[in-house]
Structure 1
Amino acid sequence: MSRWRWRKAARKAKQLQLGENKGGVELVIPNNFRCPISLDLMKDPVTMSSGITYDRQSIERWIEDGNVTCPLTHQVLRSLEPIPNHTLRRMIQEWCVQNRSHGIERIPTPRVPVSPDQVSDILSKIATATKRKDQVGCQNFVGKIKALAKESDRNKKCIAANGAARVLSLAFEEFSSSKATSFEKNNVAVLAEILSCLALMFPLGVDARDNLGSVSSMTAIVWFLKGGDFTSRREAVLVLRELVSMDHRKAEMLPEIAGAMEGLFAVVKEPVSATATKAALVVIYYMVASSNSSSSPANMKSIARFVDMGLVPLLLELMVDADRSTCEKVLGILDGICSSDRGREEAYNHALSIPVLVRKIHRSSDLAIDFSVSILWKLCKNEKREDGGVVVEALQRSAFQKLLLLLQVGCGERTKEKATELLKLLNSHRSRAECIDSMDFKNLKRTFDSK
């Protein structure tokens, strides 16, 4: 179908959609009220340098895709900045009011998007207030930036594109380093406002991550993680996730900051929000992975500290009813923890360990399966009890059959090697085991059931 015929058919479909109104009267949107791209009624008409008017959302998406021509005339646009068409917008609003009886709602008057010049001006004032150590002034200007960012995605993109994260992170570092240990009342207020605004600026650039990755900044973030209100704790863990995800070395710093590990554990144990819980799991994963990749006593001590806090039973119980994303993160952490003797000992002692792991070998994501096989391999390989212990229990939970099926369906090379070795371990105890349903958790006591 040619382009013009497709448009004609689309217009007709739109007319038919809107045509069934009260009294059976067909209501047709005037052509000049439609966006040439979406064919919908324009909510925020803007005119480009080619003289053609589009809905702002549609033309901005067109430009964001890398196009520099007018979609209708194919002319190269002299300017990519859209100009609001206030006259047409008022005409559309009047038409909506006139046809209210047909179920048409009046479109609200759109807010004027923030301009790069406005953003630069406010950021300049934030930088000046920071140099003067003017907490109140800085907090007010950061509040303006945050309010503009919350108005629309377009504003947020404009603010981020003009270096907001770098300026905000510099301000955060400055106010955190001045009283990094005591946190004066004024500093807490401005730091909380900056942290809240930074949480809207992801992904952060290299400069912003470096500023927030300083000892003073990380100490301040951890302070909010452990002692802030629900909102501050959520924003703190989101910023930490951003930092460690982009630079794993930041994860190595956290165990040295007082309260960091306890704060992360608390977010998982007493959830602030689902997003915060997942962010905390990501940070813990990188901390455990960092510890596991190094043989230094200091790093391995981090795993032991998490185990002593009760992280293993908490994760196992969390995984029973968790969604796929959470399961993957939990399994990743457990895989790292079970690389240590202390971590395996804790897993051996929990009734949910083998049932949950065997269950995840089947009907899970590829990543969850890889982690489950790896953990099970570590537990069975290091089993020292003469009666077979977890090896026999894994057999009773149908691990042998599920691993065979996994090899038949296919998996990664490393997982294949571990699954094959597991089958050999399990096979040596098959005469002693009787299979039971690995999906049946009703007879297993969780730690919170015993209270």
Structure 2
Amino acid sequence: MVLPWRSRGGRRAERRNLSTSGDTSVVKIKVPAQLRSSKIELVQSPRAPLTPRDAVEICRRLENATAREENAECLEIVSKIKNLAKDNGETNKKCLLQYSVVSELTSCFQRFASTREEHAPLLEEVLSVITSWLPLNRTEGFSKMGSTASLKTLVRFLNAPDAKTRQNAVFCIREVIAIDKRFVYALTDIEGAFEGLIKIIKDSVSTSSTKASIMAIYRIISCDNKTASKLVNLGLVALIAEMIVNNAEKSVCERCLVVLNVVCDNEQSREDVLGNALIVPLIVKKILRVSDLATQCSVSILWKLWRKNNDHLLVEALQVGAFEKLLVVLQVGCEEKTKERASELLRNLNRCRNEMENTNCVDSSMHLKNVKKSF
């Protein structure tokens, strides 16, 4: 048996430990010449976890470098923080978070985002570190990402050519606007914000970024209903319909229905929703097919559209099986508000069906000519 601190020849190994502040420990071991051409073998040992003293020192250095606007030094420190978070995983991360590294990182981002000079590599690196630690909405200092300068930089990254940068930006925006409505209003005033969020969905950067963009849009519309018409003009309704048709992931479909539900609260946007021939059959098909929340949203959307469009929508809904679906919704049970809306829709659907049977006539223009795909 060869002990780890001895060579095969029985000689005592020469050990040199370079482990400081999370650096790699290197062990020099002499081995017989017949086994290796080189007489020195470097063996990596586990990295030492970060100590509170080291974390405080790192934060202090970053704070000072940010105050002096030393781009290169800040980039070096941020890269070190990123590497430390990878080593010993949660241990180093918890230590860094405990000693307010997020506050220093967001201060750095805000400071360099406010300058006229170009600091994209540094800002992208800071954003990468912050994003890898999300959610941070309750962490001290994270609200600095909601400053005007920081949001403008995030929107610029949202429209950047690099997919990873765009993904990090939309993740951060989603978290920031969840903290305070003020940040939502600040974001809506920035040129290119809506276009960037819509483009994330159109380009299908990744499933996670699509979800983040949808949730950001939901929070924006929920806070300011007037923004719905702007987003609809950018093609939001058509995008939602396309995602519901093509995306098999339930969580994406659920988020789409949640957004469509708040869009229908805006009178002008309801007209655009009704103008899409796929919406009604898609909504009816998703009742009881995705989740309880999706069913609630689907019933709510139908109810809101019916209140605006009256019997024309009822005829269209009857043709795609809404009456039977709503009956089942009441039978299996649902929340009180959904139950009331489903009951009201059923009464009017039944009335409409009786009128159609009595007249034995259905306007051919009400058939869904644009539906070319089974759902």
Give the TM-score range, shorter chain.
0.7 to 0.9
Taking every aligned residue pair, what percent have the same amino acid on both sides? 39
Deviation at 1:150, TM superposition (A): 2.2
- Higher relative contact order, chain-length normalized (CA < 8 Å, sep 6+): 2
Alignment counterpart, residue 194 of structure 1, candidates 114, 126, 137: 126
Tell me the residue number matched to 1:392. 315
1:178 aligned onto 2:103 = no
Q: TM-score of the superposition, structure 1-length normalised?
A: 0.67
**How big is the shift at 1:268?**
0.6
Query: 1:165 aligns to what SS in structure 2?
Result: helix
Q: Give 1:251 deviation, angstroms.
A: 2.0
Which residue number corresponds to residue 195 of structure 2?
262
Q: Counterparts of 1:421 and 1:253 in 2: how far apart (Å)? A: 40
Select 1:303's aligned residue among 223, 228, 234.
228
Deviation at 1:363, TM superposition (A): 2.6
Query: Where in structure 2 are the equivalents of 1:390-429 lying within 5 Å?
Result: 390-429=313-352
- What TM-score does the superposition give when structure 2 sets the normalisation length? 0.80
Q: Deviations over 1:16-63 (max 9, x none)?
A: xxxxxxxxxxxxxxxxxxxxxxxxxxxxxxxxxxxxxxxxxxxxxxxx
| Matched position secondary structure for 1:190 | helix
- Residue 207 of structure 2 is aligned to residue 274 of structure 1: yes
Match of 1:284 among 195, 205, 217: 217
- Structure 2: how far apart are the matches of 1:244 and 1:366? 26
Match of 1:380 among 287, 306, 326: 306
Aligned position for 2:19: none
Q: What residue ranges of structure 2 are gaps of 5+ in the alignment?
A: 1-24, 26-43, 361-367
The Cα offsets for residues 165-199 of structure 1, whole Å up to 9 and x where unpaired, read as 111011111111122xxxx33x2221111111111
Runs of 5+ consecutive residues of structure 1 not aligned to the other structure: 1-85, 87-107, 293-299, 435-440, 447-451
| Equivalent pair of 1:380/1:390 in contact (CA under 8 Å) | yes
Q: Distance in 1 between matches of 2:161 and 2:60?
A: 29
Residue among 212, 223, 237 paired with 1:312: 237
Is 1:244 aligned to 2:171, yes or no?
no
How far apart are residue 161 of structure 1 and its match?
Answer: 2.3
Over the aligned positions, Cα root-mean-square deviation in angstroms equals: 2.3
- Return the alpha-carbon distance in structure 2 between the equivalents of residues 248 and 362 of structure 1: 33
Amino acid across the alignment from 2:106: S
Q: Does 1:444 align with 2:371?
A: yes
Partner of 1:221: 154
Give how far 1:332 is off: 1.2
Instruction: Indicate which of 70, 75, 78 corresponds to 1:139.
Output: 75
- How do residues 16-415 of structure 1 correspond to structure 2 at under 5 angstroms? 109-151=45-87, 152-179=89-116, 184-185=117-118, 187-204=119-136, 205-292=138-225, 300=226, 302-322=227-247, 323-383=249-309, 388-415=311-338
SS of structure 2 residue aligned to 1:169: helix
Query: Over residues 347-389 of structure 1, what are the superposed CA-to-partner deviations in whole Å (9 max), with x where a residue is unaligned?
Result: 21222201111111123211111111111101111115xxx32
Provide the secondary structure at the position in 1 that maps to 2:95.
Answer: helix
The CA deviation at 1:114 is 2.1
Q: Is the 8 A contact 1:119 1:145 kept in 2?
A: no
Query: Contact 1:251/1:283 (CA < 8 Å) preserved in 2?
Result: no
**Deviation of the 1:115 alpha carbon:** 2.1
| More divergent stretch after superposition (248-257 vs 127-136) | 248-257
